[in-house]
A and B are shown apart, each in its own frame.
Chain A
Amino acid sequence: MTYIQLYPVQDALPLITNHEQLPPGAKELGMCLDTTEAEDLYVLVKRGDHLSVLATYTRHLKTGDAYFCDQFDFPLKALSWFPKALEDFRRPPAEGGLHAGAMTSADEVVDGEMLCVESTTSGYSIVNWSRQSPLAFDDSYMPTTLSLSYNFLYRLGFLGLWNSLGEKYERGEL
């Protein structure tokens, strides 16, 4: 309704509803705890040629504790693509980077899916225009957007984990 769709959306991967109960064939690659706002555990899961990032968290609601598990899907190659794309995106205009105020990189085909990096007020997002968001309310188009803070990426080690998995991916070790 609000988002403009330029690319076809791929069929969704089967939904994982609990990070401790992975389906057959899914392999946990690593995890990292984001304590920036609350305590959200991010689990990276290999599923064939795809990567599911599971954002799992418990909220202590007035009505009682509630566990949530949101699944953000990307091609597995995003493991090696993202650190390089992010480094390029961060380059200032004086070093040949994008213009001042640019909020998004160009969309790029990564193993058949359209990805880009976006800027946020406190970090970066990885956007997959080819996958419906786990945060969508119905079938109307909403691209997958995984928002990651500077604190989580750089201080709490998520980018380091992602980068090391990217290097393993490139060496064919995953």
Chain B
Amino acid sequence: MVDTEKSMPLTGVKSVPATFEKVSEFANTELPKKFPKAFTDTAMTPEFQAKYAEHHAAAVESKYLPDQWSKDTKSFRKYLITTDLNKTEQKLLATRMEMHDTIGNNQDYLGNGLTKDLNRNSPNKHGAVETLNFERKETNLKSLNDNGAILIIEGLKPI
């Protein structure tokens, strides 16, 4: 178990629930010039999210992006200018991918705090409760353990 109160000064990690509201608030606060409220009010909605997912998939399909994991803003821009979207829509979608690259809310992001179940054989629409974690530097477990931020529970067995 990791004591987040003790580990936070060491890791600099902040966790944010993956809802439209909380992610928008975080982006507005930490990156106010790039992702101001006027942008997140437009982009952090189910309708715009569906549009982003649609165009991300189209950019992969047309081979501008190498795969579904890509967040290559420069190639996505090249894709966008081939579409018949107007300039305002192109700019919003380009900024949305910059948010994907920076914040981590990808094309499968639902905005309801849950992950999307991508297993085609699963009857479920949703997976686990999701948080987005923000860190400026990766920290290893040894460093956390050395500083008393980890409690190792012994004797656990698989269910």
Residues of A within 8 A of B (CB): 1-6, 37-38, 55, 57, 59-63, 66, 68, 70, 89-94, 97-104, 118-122, 125, 129, 134-135, 137-138, 140, 142-143, 145, 147, 150
Is there an interface contact between B92 and A2, defined as CB atoms closer than 8 Å?
Answer: yes
Number of interface residues of B (CB under 8 A): 53
What distance in Å separates the Cβ of B83 from its nearest Cβ neighbour in chain A?
12
> B101 is contacted by which of A1, A142, A147 (Cβ under 8 Å)?
A147
Is there an interface contact between B64 and A61, defined as CB atoms closer than 8 Å?
Answer: yes
> B66 is contacted by which of A37, A63, A91, A137 (Cβ under 8 Å)?
A37
Q: Cα distance A93–B136 when bound, in Å?
A: 10
Residues of B within 8 A of A (CB): 8-14, 16, 26, 30-36, 38-39, 61-64, 66-67, 69-75, 77-78, 80-81, 87-88, 90-92, 94-95, 98, 101-104, 134-139
Q: Cα distance A3–B92 when bound, in Å?
A: 10
Residues of A contacting B75 in the complex (Cβ-Cβ under 8 angstroms): 38, 57, 59, 68
Is there an interface contact between B95 and A38, defined as CB atoms closer than 8 Å?
Answer: no
Give B70's nearest chain A residue, CB to CB: A37
Give B75's nearest chain A residue, CB to CB: A59
- 18 A–B contacts, CB within 8 A, in A order: A1-B91, A2-B36, A2-B92, A4-B33, A37-B67, A38-B72, A92-B137, A101-B26, A101-B134, A102-B30, A103-B31, A120-B101, A122-B71, A134-B74, A137-B80, A137-B91, A145-B73, A150-B138
